[in-house]
Amino acid sequence: MELVSQHVKGIMEECKLRARDHGLTFDDETLEYIVTNRDMIELSPKVMIPTLYDYWVHDVRVLSGKGMYEAYPSNPYETVINTRPAISYYNDNNPDWLNVMIFYHVLGHIDFFQNNMFYKNTWDTDLTGQALADKRLIAHLRSEKGRWVDYAIEFSRGIDNLVGYQKELNHTIMNGSRYQLSKIDFYFDIFLQRIKHVSQHDYLKEITRFNAGRDGSEDFFDEIVSQYPEFDELYKKETSITLKPERDIIEYIIQHSPFLRQDENKWITSVIQIVKNTSSYFQPQIRTKIMNEGWASYWHEYLFMRDDRICGHEIDFAKVNAAVTAMPKVGLNPYALGLRLFQHIKDMEDRGCYSFDYLFLKDEVGKKKYNRDKDSGDAFILQVRENLNDFTFINTYIDQEFVDQHTLFVAGKRFNKPRMSWEFYIKSKKADDYKQMIIDTLYHPPEVFVDPAGCKEGVLYLNHKFENKPLKTDFIENTMVGIEYLWGGPVHLETSEPVVSKQAATQYAGFWDPASQQPQKKQPEEIKWKRMLYVMENRKLHKREL
């Protein structure tokens, strides 16, 4: 691992200036390293953090990564990590024109890391530094406790996808207050309804009075204060309530586990904390893949084409760029999708399409020709990259115009028995279906929380909030063995499972067996769900219906 040459660093610094001219913002300092394939394979299990703590699962991944590389060699152009300063890795000394393209891409990522609100909780720490301290602590513990450190890591990692990321982020962004409450909202939502319990008639009268006074002729609140002298005081009281962040399972265990409270087990708490913090750090990254890649691809294309240093390499660029950002005939490419969606948003905003006028237009031709010359697209997409994550990005901006423009569709796959083949067909060209198909691919860990009502007699009672998807049953046992170990007592998990009708099983077998003469049902049965309770006690798992 070595830093790039001064010449290449010069190219990077030049790229930074041009990127800033177009509105990207990022720290001055960045680090660029050249790494070998071997380094890459060894770094990737550690999520590219060279200083991450050692753990045997990483070693297993390295060994299988080496095997994988032997079978299918492939080299990424770049990898960027969200550290201070941001570190990026490159595979080799590329030609200058390619470096220009890659650097713009990397700067897109860095800009995204450092401006997107979902990363707010990562802005004040440098992960490499923190990880180094953690690594040393774990190495020290390992010298004392041996392999039990690895069990502690394993069991903590078993629940590290359940970190309360959104709640923590919410707490940071709201500065600890419950909500940003304006005086108006307080008056209408809380004061009139919950404190004064005014009649519907009076409530509507107040709304009319508010709307009438919107031109600012008189102060709306004057009359209120004269009628209710206590109003200001109550408003102040309401806004001063701050909430503690809600605790996730990990924190609950740290604070309440009788096992961890024993002196000889105190060290485990620091291991759990390290695992939790590392996981929290990567939460925003998993939730902004399409945006982050799309944003970086958008800027490498945009800035590269405007860069005079690369004259003569347009065709080389076109080849590399197409390989990265082409939309596959069947399948998904987050780079390509994100890039096109950002371009689409900019175009729509430039023409002023995010407006009621446009929405109410009925005719296609009128929609296509619609243009209000707002040219506010550049600023608009900067806003989008600041405030959205993959879900809101996809959910808000995939519209029929986008799907039609890029001739996108949901591709279905079905078995054609006479031909013994899988058939791919166009299942739907509707934006809503396409949107839902993408949303189904997004990262969404189950919501499992501690249910205080069930936590009696030393039991840790977990409740899985059911979202029409069961938990992967194979993983439940080992995960619960881990939680039981950290908790030091029995663990219960409430979750939902489908009721398996016997008929379904035979029907599946019969599908392949024409001899069984079963009529194929066109309508799949409605699935019924039942609540199940998994009980882990003394490393034995039982389950029963609730």
Partner 1 sequence: MITLDELLERDRRREEDGFKRKIRIGRIVKPGSGGKDKIIIVPTTVEEKFVHDEITLNQEPGEGDPTGGTGEGEEGDIIGEQPVRPEEGEGEGEGAGEGPGEGEGGEHELESNAYELGKVLSQDFQLPNLKDKGKKRTLARYVYDLTDKNRGVGQILDKKATLKRIVETNITLGNIPDVGNIDSTKFIISPQDMIYRILSREKDFESQALVFFLRDYSGSMGGKVTQTVVSQHVMLYSWLLYQYEKQVETRFILHDTAAKEVSDFYKYYSYKVAGGTKVFTAFKLVNDIVERESLARDYNIYVFHGTDGDDWDKEGKQTLDEIERMMNYAARIGISIVEHSYVGSKQTEVEKYLKRSGILERHSSLIKMDIMDENADDSRIIQGIKKLIS
- The answer to whether 203 and 193 are in contact (CB under 8 A) is yes
Of the candidates 421, 245, 438, the residue with the CA atom closest to the CA atom of residue 331: 438
489: left (phi over 0), alpha (psi -120 to 50) or beta: beta
Residue matched to tokens 């115009």? 401
- Binding range to partner 1, per CB under 8 A, among 76-84, 100-108, 230-238, 430-438: 430-438
Report the relative pairing of strands 2-3 and 30-34 from DSSP bridges: antiparallel
Number of residues interacting with partner 1: please give it, by CB under 8 A.
Answer: 93
- Binding range to partner 1, per CB under 8 A, among 124-132, 196-204, 258-266, 473-481: 473-481
Please identify which residue in 526, 542, 544, 545 interacts with partner 1, judged by CB under 8 A.
Answer: 526
505 binds partner 1 (CB under 8 A): yes
Please identify which residue in 74, 201, 244, 508 interacts with partner 1, judged by CB under 8 A.
Answer: 508
Task: Find the binding residues for partner 1 in span 439-458 (CB under 8 A).
Answer: 444-446, 448
Task: Find the binding residues for partner 1 in span 324-343 (CB under 8 A).
Answer: 327-332, 337
67 binds partner 1 (CB under 8 A): yes
413 binds partner 1 (CB under 8 A): yes
368 binds partner 1 (CB under 8 A): no
421 binds partner 1 (CB under 8 A): yes
Is the preceding omega at residue 498 within 30 degrees of 0, hence cis?
Answer: no
Residue number with CB closer to partner 1 (297 or 479): 479
Task: Find the binding residues for partner 1 in span 234-273 (CB under 8 A).
Answer: none
151 binds partner 1 (CB under 8 A): yes
Residue number with CB closer to partner 1 (183 or 247): 247
Residue number with CB closer to partner 1 (198 or 437): 437
Q: What is the dihedral of CA 91, 94, 100, 101, to 10 degrees?
A: -60
CA distances for 150 relative to 142, 271, 461, angstroms: 8, 9, 25
Residue number with CB closer to partner 1 (155 or 317): 155
Please identify which residue in 71, 311, 365, 453 interacts with partner 1, judged by CB under 8 A.
Answer: 71
Provide the 10 A C-beta neighbour count for residue 124.
Answer: 8
Q: What is the dihedral of CA 86, 91, 95, 97, to 10 degrees?
A: -40
Q: Which residues in 37-157 belong to E strands, given as ranges?
A: 78-81, 86-90
178 binds partner 1 (CB under 8 A): no
Residue number with CB closer to partner 1 (45 or 377): 45
Please identify which residue in 117, 132, 174, 481 interacts with partner 1, judged by CB under 8 A.
Answer: 481
139 binds partner 1 (CB under 8 A): no
1 binds partner 1 (CB under 8 A): no
Residue number with CB closer to partner 1 (199 or 503): 503
- The answer to whether 409 and 387 are in contact (CB under 8 A) is no
State the minimum distance, in angstroms, from the CB of residue 265 to partner 1.
Answer: 16
State the minimum distance, in angstroms, from the CB of residue 139 to partner 1.
Answer: 15
147 binds partner 1 (CB under 8 A): yes
State the minimum distance, in angstroms, from the CB of residue 32 to partner 1.
Answer: 26
Of the candidates 371, 385, 380, 412, the residue with the CA atom closest to the CA atom of residue 295: 385
- Binding range to partner 1, per CB under 8 A, among 13-21, 102-110, 250-258, 421-429: 421-429
DSSP run (H or E) holding 135: helix 127-145
Please identify which residue in 160, 251, 484, 494 interacts with partner 1, judged by CB under 8 A.
Answer: 160
Return the SS3 of 164. coil
- Return d(Cα 456, Cα 498) in angstroms, integer: 28
159 binds partner 1 (CB under 8 A): yes
62 binds partner 1 (CB under 8 A): yes
524 binds partner 1 (CB under 8 A): yes
- Return d(Cα 461, Cα 454) in angstroms, integer: 5
State the minimum distance, in angstroms, from the CB of residue 295 to partner 1.
Answer: 19
Q: Encoding tokens for residue 149?
A: 């450190």
DSSP secondary structure string, 274-321?
HHHHHHHHHHHHHTTHHHHHHHHHHHHHHHHHT-GGGTT-HHHHHHHH
- Cβ neighbours for 378, distance < 8 A, ≥ 6 positions apart: 22, 23, 346
- Return d(Cα 417, Cα 379) in angstroms, integer: 53
> What string marks each residue from 372 to 411 as x (binds partner 1 by CB under 8 A) or -?
----------------------------------xxxxxx
